[in-house]
């Protein structure tokens, strides 16, 4: 236990340094606080047998998983120092260079675009509820993946979350509100309440997380942000405890971070299993993962993309080489990017990480103005999916729901404003 705690604290010290220096890499690495802590929970579970799947654990795999996680941390930090400047996050928040974001959010087109998404979401939500497939408020009952309309609901939800991020990024820089901004907030609150009633809280957690980080770096309100973050964390954990079906009367101080423990531990199981797979002699390399990434951008409600992806990259090929205690490569369904990289490239995972993030960070270094600022904001939120789910999902969130929506809004605004501009010129 001492070894795993010491390694976790070493990674935490790197994160604190990156935050104080305003380095961009902090936006990619902040979920380490959650999932690095999850490995401590895994070691505790190994020693006490207090959590499910503890029979899958061994001390060597847990410690090695922490080393792999730290290597991810160090690789991203080194690439950041190579391509990006210190205090870059603060430099992107220069109001004189961000007029495009203000123009998009303050445009009535943005409000109409958001309104269309909310109406479509409400219709699908109502159809799911009326059919009896969605049991509102019952987290254990509602199997979202089994909902008939889950594909389009998830697609609309990610689009709305991206618009929410765009709106918050505008309000972070330009604090003056308009009437349309107030109406936008009302629409977002309606969506948040309904989306939370379907069970998952991850989409709002990542938005709150990245917003607190950007606010902290911009305004240096360390104590206020810490107090707000701690309060939000405690309230969220209590709600998660209640929604898990446990009686509130049984709640005590040891359950204060119940949801955090469960989230971190169960998602780290996949990394631990990947570490176990890497230790086997008959490891199968699957570089086809690279080709599978763009396929994941295909909407699942239009085509069964998994059928194509499994031809290029099948995690279950690892099962025959794992210990008898392990029955699934992803015990709880989630698969982190780091685990994906290990499954696909084995001991050469670090080369894959260096290539991918060198391309990403060198590209960000070349961006300017509103696009650079919003991409930083968007990646800061999507990185929770990177640590929790996979590179496939993160790729889809950033490029399909993020960049494509922004480009579409810009094109619509430009096309609709052109006749008005020409008319004004003629006058």
Q: What pTM did the predictor assign?
A: 0.84
Could you read off the pLDDT of 152-178 as tens digits, one per residue? 888 888 899 899 989 988 888 887 777
Look at the block and give the residue holding tokens 């160090």. Answer: 74
- Of 160, 168, 181, 177, the C-alpha closest to 211 is 168
Cα–Cα distance, 214 to 23 (Å, whole number): 11
Cα–Cα distance, 293 to 326 (Å, whole number): 26
- Of 241, 239, 117, 242, the C-alpha closest to 187 is 117
Cα angle at 394 between 4 and 270, to 5 degrees? 35
Whether 334 has a pLDDT exceeding 70, the answer reads: no
Cα–Cα distance, 371 to 425 (Å, whole number): 29
* Contacts with 113 (C-beta within 8 Å, 6 or more apart), sequence order: 163, 409, 412
Neighbours of 41 (CB within 10 A): 22
Q: What is the mean pLDDT of residues 183-188?
A: 88
Cα–Cα distance, 391 to 167 (Å, whole number): 25
- Of 287, 264, 279, the C-alpha closest to 68 is 279
Cα–Cα distance, 374 to 401 (Å, whole number): 13
* Contacts with 218 (C-beta within 8 Å, 6 or more apart), sequence order: 90, 93, 172
In the chain, % of residues over pLDDT 70: 82
Whether 196 has a pLDDT exceeding 50, the answer reads: yes
Cα angle at 329 between 325 and 330, to 5 degrees? 110
Could you read off the pLDDT of 77-128 as tens digits, one per residue? 999 999 998 888 888 888 888 888 888 888 889 999 999 999 999 998 888 8
């Amino acid at each position: 236990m001492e070894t795993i705690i010491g390694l976790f604290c070493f990674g935490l010290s790197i994160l604190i340094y990156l935050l104080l220096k305003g380095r961009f890499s902090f936006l990619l690495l902040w979920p380490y606080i959650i999932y690095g802590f999850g490995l401590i929970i895994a070691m505790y579970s190994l020693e006490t047998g207090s959590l499910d799947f503890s029979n899958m654990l061994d001390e060597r795999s847990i410690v090695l998983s922490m080393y792999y996680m730290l290597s991810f941390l160090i690789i991203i930090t080194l690439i950041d120092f190579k391509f990006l400047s210190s205090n870059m996050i603060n430099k992107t928040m220069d109001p004189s260079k961000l007029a495009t974001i203000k123009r998009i959010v303050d445009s009535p087109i943005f409000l109409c675009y958001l309104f269309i998404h909310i109406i479509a979401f409400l219709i699908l939500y109502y159809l799911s509820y009326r059919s009896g497939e969605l049991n509102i408020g019952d987290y254990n009952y509602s199997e979202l993946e089994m909902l008939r309309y889950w594909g389009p609901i998830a697609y609309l939800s990610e689009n709305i979350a991206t618009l929410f991020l765009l709106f918050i990024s505008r309000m972070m820089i330009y604090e003056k509100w308009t009437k349309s901004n107030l109406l936008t907030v009302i629409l977002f609150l309606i969506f948040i309440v309904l989306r939370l009633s379907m069970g998952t809280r991850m989409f709002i957690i990542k938005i709150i997380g990245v917003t607190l980080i950007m606010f902290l770096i911009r305004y240096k309100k360390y104590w206020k942000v810490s107090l707000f973050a701690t309060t939000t964390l405690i309230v969220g954990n209590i709600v998660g405890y209640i929604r898990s079906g446990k009686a509130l009367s049984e709640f005590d101080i040891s359950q204060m971070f119940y949801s955090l423990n469960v989230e971190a531990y169960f998602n780290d199981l996949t990394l631990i299993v990947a570490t176990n797979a890497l230790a086997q002699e008959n490891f199968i390399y699957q570089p086809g993962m690279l080709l599978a990434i763009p396929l994941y951008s295909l909407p699942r409600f239009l085509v069964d993309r998994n059928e194509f992806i499994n031809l290029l990259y099948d995690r279950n090929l690892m099962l025959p080489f794992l210990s008898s205690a392990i029955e699934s490569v992803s015990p709880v369904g989630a698969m982190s990017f780091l685990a994906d990289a290990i499954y696909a490239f084995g001991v050469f995972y670090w080369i894959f990480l260096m290539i991918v993030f060198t391309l990403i960070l060198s590209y960000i270094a070349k961006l300017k103005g509103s696009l650079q600022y919003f991409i930083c904001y968007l990646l800061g939120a999507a990185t929770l999916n990177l640590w929790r789910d996979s590179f496939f999902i993160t790729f889809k969130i950033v490029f399909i729901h993020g960049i494509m929506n922004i480009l579409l809004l810009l094109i619509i605004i430009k096309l609709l404003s052109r006749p008005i501009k020409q008319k004004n010129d003629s006058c």
